[in-house]
Amino acid sequence: MNTTTYLASKPRYEILDGLRGVAAMIVVAYHLFETYSASPVHQILNHGYLAVDFFFVLSGFVIGYAYDDRWDRMSIKDFFKRRLVRLHPMVIMGTLIGAVFFYLGDCSAFPLIMETPWWKVLLMVLLGCLMIPTSVSWDIRGWWEVNSLNGPTWSLMWEYIANILYALFIRHFSKIALGIFVALAALLTIDIA
């Protein structure tokens, strides 16, 4: 059975697309308001970053829904290849756009721009495209990030880690073990919140 027929046979949850769109708008609005607010106290969407956590939960559901019944026809290598093709173009594009805006953007937004040698920018582009986090002391923008040309890469890095854990371990959990795992994760989330 080809992939198109297989995917077309599963019901689509359009409400999840709507929730994903709302969460995306909340994240964008949060960062816009964060940029122009006087301080965190004056932030209009003070907890808008929690929409990213929602993306992680939604992604976990979608991965399980899409792949749980394919493992008899798909190897781990095929799964990793599919996920890499799906996710990594965003990492590369975000890093390259970040590099362009680093040089063409407002110098006041990037305090270290005039002090950064070309080889360090190229190194950050390479490390960013490979998703290798760096020490915050290597940040070339002066924003103290581990991926200085594509800040949101941290979320995709966790997406990769979750995909690896799912393919190697979590998909083998029994329903009881999965329930315990979800309950523990919920308790940790509540504790952190």
How many helices and strands (H and E) does the chain possess? Answer: 7, 0
- Strand (E) or helix (H) holding 40: none
Q: What pLDDT digit, counting tens, does each position of 133-163 carry?
A: 999 888 888 778 888 888 888 888 988 999 9
Which token pair is 84? 């890499």
Cβ-in-10-Å burial (0-12, 13-18, 19+) of 48 comes to buried
Calculate mean pLDDT across residues 41-69. 87
* Residue with more model confidence, 45 or 64: 64
Domain locations along the chain: 1-73, 75-193
Per the prediction, the chain carries an average pLDDT of 87
pTM of the model: 0.80
Q: What is the pLDDT of residue 8?
A: 54
